[in-house]
Structure formats: C-alpha cells, structure tokens
C-alpha cells in the first residue's frame, strides 16, 4: 500500500499501517514537516516529539504511533545533522 493511501486529508489511516510501513509513513510525515516550517520550528518540533517519545516509553506501552514518532524524529534529526545519517 502506498503512503499516499495511508495519509489522506491530513490524517493517517492507522488501519492501513503495518509493522514495516511505519517507516515510509514516518519519512513522508517528516518530509511534510521539514518542507512546511522554519529551521527554528523544526527544532522545536523535534524536541516536542522527543518528549512525547520519552513519556510513551515511561508508560511502557508501544504502538504504531510510537514507531511513527520515532521515525519522524530520526528523519528530522538527519535533516538537521546530516552526519547522523550513517
């Protein structure tokens, strides 16, 4: 299933996301974010997502949403620091 079918009208169809496609969806969402905000806003978003990820980890629950958040963090960070892409 293409990421275009998973992301429609600004919302994610979580029923169509399997364990591997969260990577593609996360990358697509990160690209949308990177292309829509300033570098300063991007830094703020990365920090907010990191806090959200830490809170989720403390609650000891994992979900596809956590995987999406983590993939978005990875891609945003790689955009901000290309050295971390290896």
> Mean of the per-residue pLDDT values for the chain?
77
Q: How many domains does the chain have?
A: 1
13 — pLDDT class (breaks 50, 70, 90): low
**The pair of three-digit structure tokens given for residue 9, joined into one six-digit string:** 């009208």
Residue-wise pLDDT for 16-41, tens only, equals 555 567 788 888 999 999 999 999 99
CB atoms within 10 A of CB 38: 8
81 or 4: whose pLDDT is higher? 81
For the chain, the first-to-last Cα distance in angstroms comes to 27
Specify the pLDDT at position 1: 41
Residues with Cβ < 8 Å from 58, sequence gap 6 or more? none
Residue range of the domain that includes 63:
3-85
């Amino acid at each position: 299933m293409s990421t275009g079918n998973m992301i429609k009208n600004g919302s994610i169809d979580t029923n169509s996301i399997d364990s591997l496609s969260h990577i593609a969806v996360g990358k697509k969402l990160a690209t949308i974010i990177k292309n829509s905000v300033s570098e300063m806003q991007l830094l703020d978003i990365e920090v907010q997502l990191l806090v959200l990820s830490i809170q989720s980890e403390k609650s000891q629950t994992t979900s596809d949403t956590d995987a999406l958040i983590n993939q978005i963090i990875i891609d945003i960070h790689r955009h901000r620091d290309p050295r971390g892409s290896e």
